Amino acid sequence: MKYIKIPHAFVLIYAIVILAMIMSYIIPAGEYERYENENGTLVVDETSFQYTEQTPVHWTEIFRSVPEGMTDAAGIIFLIFIIGGAFGMINGTGAIEAGINKVVSLLRNREIILIPLTMLIFSFGGATFGMAESTLIFIPMGIMLARSLGMDAMTGMAMVALGAAAGFAGGFMNIFTVGVAQEIAGLPLFSGMFYRIIVQLVFVAIASFFVYRYGRRVQQDINNSYVYALEKNAQDEKYEFKKLTKKHILVLLIIFSGFGLIIYGVVQGWSTGTDLAAIFLAMGIASGLIGGNTPNGIAEDFIKGAKEVTFGALIVGLARCILLILEDGSIIDTIIFSISVVLEGMPASVAAIGMFITQFIINFFIPSGSGQAATTIPLLAPIGDIVGVPRQSVVLAFQMGDGLANYLFPTSAILMAGLSIANIPYEKWLRFVWPVMLVWMVAGGAFMVISLWIGYGPF
């Protein structure tokens, strides 16, 4: 049996660009009037839609739209590159790895505390600096630790991966997902973070329950392991815990101070994208110098970190092309109007949950969080204006859908790389993770409804 190969995300998005150009000849042109709300953001006047003269997009625009899209999204793209490079400089010191290893080693043989605490640590990595590729280096540690507790590789993989996934889904300070989405939606940077912290903690608690329960079953009888054959043949694998040095402690203090300054700035309302990039850049350079790295080494680590986010940064610019084509063809408002007519009359809670499920499914095709935000938020934000879903709730739907799906679908490069390192077949992982995902999805739907009840804002 031949499996259908999913096209690369760039191919899918560019296909949508071409489709948008074709649709500009078919879909009637139309427009809404827009006005500035009290926060200075342009929002849709839902009563103002009217059809206008057709303005089809010439086929040559599918090529011009790429540099135009990159230019239009330059602020977000370079923000991603700078912050990615900053974390490259921080990771180059080894402080984060050493700090995590220290905490985990101190709690060895206390699995009732160790499992949720380890997952909580990784969740904060996902929620702040978008810990994704970085999780891969911790998977061998997680597996070794789980086996030392009489558990299995599945437990170790889940501790690392599902912890990071819960953090991504909360994403209270994740510039690569929430930051990009809020920028596009016109929301203040990292606004609404306290609700997202609650989301993150609940997702961690749910995952910890499942992982601990499964691990205990394996402890009691290794035959309960979903990867019993792997455990039966496992060699005595060793993982060298990095020693936490004074330099590492100083670097960690710099990181905590930097995040504290960012939180303070968000609360005070002065932390813009430029402020954020500047703080991260200062954190990275200071960490590299105090961590004992040379100026050349710091520069190389910056480039390495920036390389790791190249895919996400470029896909933001490519996704912006879709918006430019839809705007040039004057059909984006017609699409918004058509969808809003379908949703009109439905409770706002139904529309909100539908947005969450839609974002979850879209992650199968666009596994990049930044790219997914750039593709979907321009459409869903104004739809939310019309059907009564606050833009902050629209962003919440995106971040939860993207974050949770990262560790379910086989199109996720991070998931498949992690499973490869752990030697866990995808079908075994799917057997383990689907109950967690099901409860996560129910919780996510509840969070969407609650966000409407509390008027999650500022708008």
Q: What whole-number distance in Å separates Cα of residue 289 and Cα of residue 332?
A: 49
* pLDDT score recorded for residue 40: 64
What does the pLDDT look like over 258-297, one tens digit per residue?
888 877 776 676 556 677 788 889 999 999 999 999 999 9
What does the pLDDT look like over 56-80, one tens digit per residue?
999 999 999 999 989 988 887 888 8
Q: How confident is the model at residue 237 (pLDDT cuts 50, 70, 90)?
A: low
Q: What is the DSSP track for 193-211? A: HHHHHHHHHHHHHHHHHHH
Query: Mean pLDDT: which of 195-209, 231-245, 295-309, 340-354 is highest?
Result: 195-209
* Residue 122, amino acid: F
Mean pLDDT of 158-182: 90
* pLDDT score recorded for residue 239: 55
* pLDDT score recorded for residue 345: 72
Q: How confident is the model at residue 104 (pLDDT cuts 50, 70, 90)?
A: confident
Computed over every residue of the chain, the mean pLDDT equals 85
Q: What predicted TM-score, i.e. pTM, was given to this entire model?
A: 0.79
Q: How confident is the model at residue 206 (pLDDT cuts 50, 70, 90)?
A: very high
Query: What tokens were used for 90?
Result: 């921080």
* pLDDT score recorded for residue 256: 86
pLDDT of 27 > 60? The answer is yes
pLDDT of 356 > 90? The answer is yes
Q: How confident is the model at residue 400 (pLDDT cuts 50, 70, 90)?
A: very high
pLDDT of 246 > 80? The answer is yes
% of residues, the chain, pLDDT over 90: 34
Query: What tokens were used for 230?
Result: 């792997």
pLDDT of 205 > 60? The answer is yes
More confident residue, 107 or 306: 306
What does the pLDDT look like over 310-325, one tens digit per residue?
887 888 788 888 888 9
Mean pLDDT of 151-167: 92
Mean pLDDT of 174-196: 89
Torsion of the alpha carbons at 16, 21, 23 and 27, rounded to the nearest 10: 130
What does the pLDDT look like over 407-426, one tens digit per residue?
988 778 778 878 887 888 88
Listed residue (414, 411, 395, 398) closest to 457, CA to CA: 395
DSSP lists the bridge partners of residue 34 as: 44
Mean pLDDT of 97-124: 81
Q: In 10 A of CB 431, how many CB atoms?
A: 13
More confident residue, 143 or 449: 449
| Three-state DSSP string of the chain | CCCCCCCCHHHHHHHHHHHHHHHCCCCCCEECCEEECCCCCEEECCCCCEECCCCCCCCCHHHHHHHHHHHHCHHHHHHHHHHHHHHHHHHCCCHHHHHHHHHHHHCCCCHHHHHHHHHHHHHHHHHHCCCCHHHHHHHHHHHHHHHHCCCCHHHHHHHHHHHHHHHHHHCCCCHHHHHHHHHHHCCCCCCCHHHHHHHHHHHHHHHHHHHHHHHHHHHHCHHHCCCHHHHHHCCCCCCCCCCCCHHHHHHHHHHHHHHHHHHHHHHHCCCCHHHHHHHHHHHHHHHHHHCCCCHHHHHHHHHHHHHHCHHHHHHHHHHHHHHHHHHHCCCHHHHHHHHHHHHCCCCHHHHHHHHHHHHHHHHHHCCCHHHHHHHHHHHHHHHHHHHCCCHHHHHHHHHHHHHHHCCCCCCCHHHHHHHHHHCCCHHHHHHHHHHHHHHHHHHHHHHHHHHHHCCCCCC
Mean pLDDT of 106-127: 82
DSSP lists the bridge partners of residue 35 as: 43
Give the ranges where 171-245 is alpha helix by DSSP (H).
Answer: 180-185, 193-220, 228-233
Q: What is the DSSP track for 446-459? A: HHHHHHHHTT-S--
pLDDT of 1 > 50? The answer is no
* Residue 140, amino acid: P
* pLDDT score recorded for residue 286: 94
Mean pLDDT of 363-376: 80
- Please give the distance of CA 184 from its chain centroid, rounded to a whole number: 15
* pLDDT score recorded for residue 134: 67
DSSP lists the bridge partners of residue 355 as: none
pLDDT of 174 > 90? The answer is no
Q: Which helix (H) or strand (E) holds 312?
A: helix 310-328
Mean pLDDT of 212-232: 89
% of residues, the chain, pLDDT over 70: 92
Residue given tokens 């993989």 in the structure block? 157
